[in-house]
């Protein structure tokens, strides 16, 4: 293969007369546009401007070409030019009277900026390797991604110290946070990196055309589609721990105004932790077109997957003895491996976007979406299994006992299993509609609309594996005899349906007067929850089904921006209420919790931006006060290994900090990016908790936790990143890129178990602080441009993660009884690993 590449490179460099077209894309007032699309008509050649508005298209022959620059909200600019040498071509784009807008209003080009970042597909996917798409956000200050046990999708995202249950996650403007618990199950979106166009991130205050505000910020993943650039691409990837992936993607114009984009990929991986294997398929279909004043885009996306999990945290001494790859959640049964924790899920999602340009000053935007999700995962047993001397689960001893266990109380002939494996089943039906109008008149710009969603879910557990026995007992269903024999597939523990519906209105207005722009944002929302419990109530009991519990919330935000050409200063202030999640409204007996109130958030921000042809500087100060905080999480008792659900209500916290980003272009071939995020996140009161075991959520214990003036935990309150990107051309039709990245994580206090925050003297103590650490990654890439032949482009990328092979570093932790490294249970970081991808474009 290397010989073939060498021959291609040598031949191309000898005989090709190739030139480069490059330049900047700006607005009339001199601002650089990041993410603008540059394409050459009747070819598959094109580029996207970087954060400084710069683009470069290589491998052009001596010829006349027609080049177009396009950016949402601006008129397309097209120029003819004759290429006979390396050529500079700049574009100045004129703003439309009103735009067919992106799902998130881009503060980068808007008059009222927020703490905003936009990352394109190339800058993200080249650094991902085999990781999930969310890892591409880690270059942004005050963003942290924990891989936890290392299973694909089993991660958690934090922004400014707020968990992903308090971050608005969207795909093409469609909210994907689970309406019940606010979680984002990244396994549902495992193939997102394959279909990504760009990611827009707002930290803290911001505006989205949606009525429910998020606390930490908003992340919108925009998928590819509606592309005037035709391509056909084959991509192959492999890497550490037997990672393998193959992808086929293409985009074609099926008519003058309709484009078809599609992708399918297959991924397999053994996992870097024992028995965290992955089997995944991703499919994507997008049909988009313009019809006079109407634009339509139909998307279908899904990623069926199954993967092994590692969910049991251990002490630092345990990991030192067994190794950081060890997984105690599996064992051997009759000579074959059997996982205690597996996950399987498929969530096909379909969305239809409609945009109607009613006039030059008025546009209507509509999004209709629907998804059906089905799957689940195995869960720990009622009583912990025995383990072998090596630390694995001793399934064989369970099997031998069960296969000989006769209990004549229940059956004189069948074998009784006391501790069966169970599987949690989750199915949901999710639909929604978002509609908005955008209107511009002179210096006023208005956006207003409504959103609606409806969600229903089936949640139950079933017997999965009797481990040598024939039956078990104890379904917890009051409608059954407690001594009924239960077989594989029978429901146990709980069986309940849950429902969520939400309706809201939103309005955003902007007024520009000279250098000053002011905006005002209002939203109102009504969220309602309901449950049906099939286990805890008789079939004819009216308490079996609750009434709808409705909760009203609202948002008020305002801000000012002073524009001084290359720089601007802005100030934002906002107050909003957020409805509690379903688990903090109803318990597992259909009882309403007492004192159900909205969470209250008061947020202020002060920022400064500077942009020139070679430099970008962003500085942001924020302060977020959060009262009546309510959230849910799963914790694990390090003594018994059992998992518990906790509901926390009435919490008050203060998050405040500073964020800095900079980019410096030293030449067309070299730039350096850097970012720093520093925050101080503290609890300002003691909290009340409700703790219940996973095996029986109906058993609840009320706990008061004394945490006032302690750090919130679960997030590095200081993170920093520096990267250099250097490219050079070995020949006129080739390009080599080298991109080292240095990351720092510090001031990270562990999460806490409410049961361990009750000192005898009621004096709070901070959680154990995880040691600070650095990581170094290295990314390199090589391209050969072959315009005019069947193959248009060859590309190879190689990445080394944790290049210095740092070992024995802690990435996540739960605090222990003595609040130190000895009592904490932790996740260890991954040692050095690598990834290679090669692609051919036709």
Q: What's the Cα-to-Cα distance from 97 to each of 366, 440, 446, rounded to whole Å?
A: 20, 7, 12
Domain assignment present for 719: yes
At 5 the pLDDT is 44
- Say how far apart CA 682 and CA 395 lie, in whole Å: 44
Residue 6 makes CB contacts below 8 A (sequence gap 6+) with none
Q: What is the mean pLDDT of residues 212-217?
A: 85
With contact defined as beta carbons under 8 Å apart, do 585 and 592 qualify? yes
Domain assignment present for 741: yes
DSSP strand pairing (87-88 vs 19-27): parallel
At 809 the pLDDT is 96
Dihedral pair phi/psi, residue 692, rounded to 5° = -145, 145
Closest CA to 419 of 457, 464, 454, 459: 464
CATH number of 441's domain: 2.40.170.20
SS3 of residue 43 by DSSP: coil
- Say how far apart CA 630 and CA 785 lie, in whole Å: 55
Given pLDDT bands bounded at 50, 70 and 90, which one contains residue 524? Answer: very high
Task: Please compute, for residue 610, the number of CA atoms within 13 A of its CA located in the half-sphere on the CB side.
Answer: 9
At 755 the pLDDT is 66
Q: How far does CA 353 lie from the centroid of its chain? A: 22
pLDDT in tens, 47-66: 778 767 888 887 788 888 88
Residues 352 and 241 in one domain: yes
Q: Is the pLDDT of residue 103 over 60?
A: no
Q: What's the Cα-to-Cα distance from 25 to each of 56, 91, 434, rounded to whole Å?
A: 11, 5, 32
Residues 599 and 503 in one domain: yes
Residues 189 and 245 in one domain: no
At 12 the pLDDT is 42
Q: How many CB atoms lie within 10 A of CB 484?
A: 13
At 694 the pLDDT is 56
Q: Is the pLDDT of residue 6 over 80?
A: no
Closest CA to 811 of 53, 148, 170: 148
Q: How many CB atoms lie within 10 A of CB 105?
A: 26
Q: What mean pLDDT value characterizes the chain? A: 86
pLDDT in tens, 549-591: 999 999 999 999 998 878 899 999 999 998 888 878 887 788 8
At 100 the pLDDT is 45
Domain assignment present for 826: yes
Task: Please compute, for residue 639, the number of CA atoms within 13 A of its CA located in the half-sphere on the CB side.
Answer: 5
Domain count within the chain: 2
Q: Is the pLDDT of residue 202 over 60?
A: yes
Closest CA to 715 of 684, 686, 743, 747: 747
At 161 the pLDDT is 92
Percent pLDDT > 70 in the chain is 89
At 789 the pLDDT is 66
Closest CA to 123 of 201, 32, 51: 51
- Say how far apart CA 536 and CA 588 lie, in whole Å: 9
Residues 289 and 198 in one domain: no
At 495 the pLDDT is 95
- Say how far apart CA 479 and CA 473 lie, in whole Å: 14
What is the DSSP secondary structure assignment for residue 165, as one 8-state letter?
G
Q: Which tokens hold the place of 515?
A: 């250098």
Question: DSSP characters for 726-783?
Answer: EEE-SSTTEEEEEEEEEEEEEEEEPB--GGG---TT----PPPEEPPEEEEEEEEEEE
SS3 of residue 309 by DSSP: coil
Range of the domain at 179: 19-221
Residues 205 and 245 in one domain: no
Given pLDDT bands bounded at 50, 70 and 90, which one contains residue 9? Answer: very low
Q: Which tokens hold the place of 519?
A: 């905006």
Of 164, 189, 221, the residue that ends a domain is 221
Q: Which tokens hold the place of 544?
A: 């079996």
Residue with more model confidence, 838 or 639: 838
The residue to which tokens 């700049």 are assigned: 90
Residues 137 and 267 in one domain: no
Q: String of b and e for 562-597 (b: at least 16 CB within 10 Å)? A: ebeeeebebebbbbbbbbbbbbbbbbbebeebeebe
pLDDT in tens, 647-663: 677 789 999 999 999 99
pLDDT in tens, 158-181: 999 998 888 988 888 888 888 888
| Partners of 449 in beta bridges | 436, 506
- Say how far apart CA 368 and CA 173 lie, in whole Å: 11
Given pLDDT bands bounded at 50, 70 and 90, which one contains residue 724? Answer: very high
Q: Which tokens hold the place of 468?
A: 């040598």
Tally of residues, the chain? 842
Residue with more model confidence, 99 or 541: 541
Closest CA to 797 of 832, 833, 838: 838
CATH number of 167's domain: 2.60.40.1120
The residue to which tokens 């390199």 are assigned: 780
Q: What is the mean pLDDT of residues 324-341?
A: 94
The residue to which tokens 């109906």 are assigned: 698
At 350 the pLDDT is 95
Domain assignment present for 311: yes
Q: Is the pLDDT of residue 309 over 90?
A: yes
With contact defined as beta carbons under 8 Å apart, do 459 and 425 qualify? yes
Of 166, 195, 221, the residue that ends a domain is 221
Q: Where are the alpha helices (H) located in 82-216, listed in sequence order?
A: 121-128
At 788 the pLDDT is 63
Dihedral pair phi/psi, residue 291, rounded to 5° = -135, 95
Least confident of 1-5, 318-322, 372-376: 1-5
Residue with more model confidence, 103 or 597: 597
Q: Is the pLDDT of residue 149 over 60?
A: yes
Residues 628 and 750 in one domain: yes
Q: What's the Cα-to-Cα distance from 108 to each of 31, 52, 151, 223, rounded to whole Å?
A: 10, 11, 35, 19
Dihedral pair phi/psi, residue 703, rounded to 5° = -130, 135
Least confident of 115-124, 240-249, 293-302, 628-637: 628-637
Domain assignment present for 501: yes
Sign of torsion over alpha carbons 397, 399, 403, 407: positive
SS3 of residue 397 by DSSP: helix
Residues 159 and 293 in one domain: no
Domain assignment present for 7: no
Q: How many CB atoms lie within 10 A of CB 7?
A: 10
Residues 135 and 268 in one domain: no
Residues 200 and 246 in one domain: no
Q: Is the pLDDT of residue 228 over 60?
A: no
pLDDT in tens, 746-789: 999 998 877 667 665 567 789 999 999 999 999 999 988 876 66
Question: Angle at the Cα of 591 (from 587 to 595), degrees rounded to 5?
Answer: 90
Region of 214 (left: φ > 0; alpha: ψ -120 to 50; beta: rest) is beta
At 10 the pLDDT is 41
- Say how far apart CA 838 and CA 296 lie, in whole Å: 33
Domain assignment present for 230: yes
Q: What is the mean pLDDT of residues 418-426?
A: 93
Q: Which tokens hold the place of 782?
A: 């090589």
Q: Is the pLDDT of residue 696 over 70?
A: no
The residue to which tokens 């994580």 are assigned: 745
Residues 210 and 286 in one domain: no
Domain assignment present for 5: no
Of 221, 236, 267, the residue that ends a domain is 221
At 108 the pLDDT is 40
Residues 43 and 133 in one domain: yes
With contact defined as beta carbons under 8 Å apart, do 629 and 650 qualify? yes
With contact defined as beta carbons under 8 Å apart, do 180 and 586 qualify? no
Q: How many CB atoms lie within 10 A of CB 79?
A: 12
DSSP strand pairing (305-308 vs 278-291): antiparallel
Residue with more model confidence, 211 or 350: 350
């Amino acid at each position: 293969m290397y010989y073939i590449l060498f021959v291609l490179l040598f031949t191309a460099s000898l005989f090709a007369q190739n030139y480069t077209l490059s330049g900047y894309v700006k607005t009339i007032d001199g601002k650089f546009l990041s993410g603008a699309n540059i394409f050459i008509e009747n070819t598959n050649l094109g580029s996207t401007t970087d954060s400084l508005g710069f683009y470069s298209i290589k491998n052009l022959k001596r010829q006349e070409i027609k080049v177009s620059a396009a950016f949402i909200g601006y008129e397309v600019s097209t120029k003819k030019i004759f290429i006979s040498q390396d050529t500079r071509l700049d574009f100045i784009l004129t703003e439309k009277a009103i735009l067919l807008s992106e799902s998130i209003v881009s503060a980068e080009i808007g008059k009222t900026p927020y703490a905003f970042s936009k990352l394109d597909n190339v800058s993200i996917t080249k650094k991902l390797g085999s990781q999930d798409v969310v890892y591409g956000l880690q270059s942004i200050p005050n963003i942290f991604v924990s891989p936890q046990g290392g299973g694909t999708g089993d991660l958690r995202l934090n922004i400014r110290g707020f968990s992903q249950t308090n971050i608005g996650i969207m795909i093409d403007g469609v909210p994907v946070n689970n309406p019940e618990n606010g979680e984002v199950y990244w396994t549902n979106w495992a193939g997102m990196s394959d279909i990504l166009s760009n990611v827009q991130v707002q930290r803290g205050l911001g505006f989205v055309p949606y009525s429910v505000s998020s606390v930490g910020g908003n992340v919108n993943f925009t998928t590819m589609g509606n592309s005037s650039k035709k391509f056909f691409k084959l991509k192959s990837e492999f890497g550490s721990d037997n990672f393998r992936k193959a992808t086929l993607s293409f985009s074609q114009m099926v008519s003058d105004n309709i484009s078809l984009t599609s992708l399918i990929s297959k991924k397999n991986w053994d996992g870097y932790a024992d028995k965290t294997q992955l089997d995944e398929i991703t499919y994507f279909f997008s049909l988009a077109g313009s019809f006079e004043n109407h634009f339509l885009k139909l998307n279908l996306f899904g990623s069926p997957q199954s993967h092994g999990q590692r969910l049991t945290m251990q002490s630092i001494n345990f990991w030192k003895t067994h190794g950081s790859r060890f997984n105690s959640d599996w064992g051997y049964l009759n000579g074959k491996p059997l996982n205690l924790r597996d996950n399987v899920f498929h969530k096909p999602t379909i969305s239809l976007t409609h945009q109607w340009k009613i006039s030059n000053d008025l546009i209507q935007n509509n999004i209709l979406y629907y998804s059906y999700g089905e799957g689940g995962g195995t869960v720990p047993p009622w009583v912990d299994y025995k383990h072998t001397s090596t630390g694995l689960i001793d399934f064989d001893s369970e099997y031998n006992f069960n296969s000989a266990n006769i209990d004549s109380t229940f059956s004189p002939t069948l074998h009784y299993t006391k501790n069966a494996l169970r599987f949690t089943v989750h199915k949901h039906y999710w639909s929604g509609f978002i509609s908005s109008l955008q209107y511009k008149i002179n210096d006023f710009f208005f956006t207003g609309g409504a959103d609606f969603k409806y969600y229903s879910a089936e949640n139950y557990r079933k017997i999965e594996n009797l481990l040598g026995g024939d039956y078990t007992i104890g379904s917890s269903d009051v409608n059954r005899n407690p001594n009924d024999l239960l077989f594989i597939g029978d429901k146990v523990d709980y069986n309940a349906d849950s429902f969520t519906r939400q309706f809201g209105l939103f309005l955003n207005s902007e007024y520009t007067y000279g250098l000053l722009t002011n905006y005002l944002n209002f939203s109102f929302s009504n969220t309602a929850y309901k449950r049906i419990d099939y286990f805890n109530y008789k079939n004819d009991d009216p308490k079996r089904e609750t009434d709808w519990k409705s909760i009203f919330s609202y948002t008020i935000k305002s801000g000012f921006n002073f524009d001084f050409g290359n720089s601007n200063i802005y100030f934002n202030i906002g107050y909003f209420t957020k409805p509690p999640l379903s688990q903090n409204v109803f318990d597992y007996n259909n009882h309403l919790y007492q004192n159900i109130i909205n969470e209250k958030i008061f947020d202020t921000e002060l920022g400064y931006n500077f942009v020139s042809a070679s430099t970008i500087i962003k500085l942001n100060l924020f302060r977020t006060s959060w009262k009546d905080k309510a959230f849910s999480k799963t914790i694990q008792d390090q003594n018994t290994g059992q998992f518990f659900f906790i509901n926390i209500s009435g919490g008050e916290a203060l998050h405040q900090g500073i964020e800095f980003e900079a980019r410096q272009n030293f030449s067309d071939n070299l730039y350096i990016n850097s970012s720093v995020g520093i925050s101080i996140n503290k609890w300002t009161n003691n909290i009340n908790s409700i703790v219940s075991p996973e095996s029986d959520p109906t058993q609840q214990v009320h706990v008061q936790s004394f945490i006032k003036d302690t750090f919130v935990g679960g997030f590095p309150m200081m993170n920093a990143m520096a990267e250099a990107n250097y490219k050079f051309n070995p020949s006129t039709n080739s390009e080599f890129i080298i991109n080292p990245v240095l990351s720092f994580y510090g001031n990270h206090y562990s999460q806490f178990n409410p049961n361990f925050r009750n000192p005898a003297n009621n004096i709070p103590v901070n959680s154990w602080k995880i040691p600070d650490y650095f990581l170094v990654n290295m990314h390199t890439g090589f391209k050969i441009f072959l315009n005019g032949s069947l193959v248009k482009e060859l590309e190879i990328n190689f990445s080394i993660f944790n290049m210095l092979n740092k070992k024995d570093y802690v990435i996540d932790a739960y605090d222990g009884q003595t609040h130190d490294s000895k009592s904490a249970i932790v996740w260890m970081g991954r040692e050095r690993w690598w990834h290679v991808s090669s692609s051919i474009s036709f």
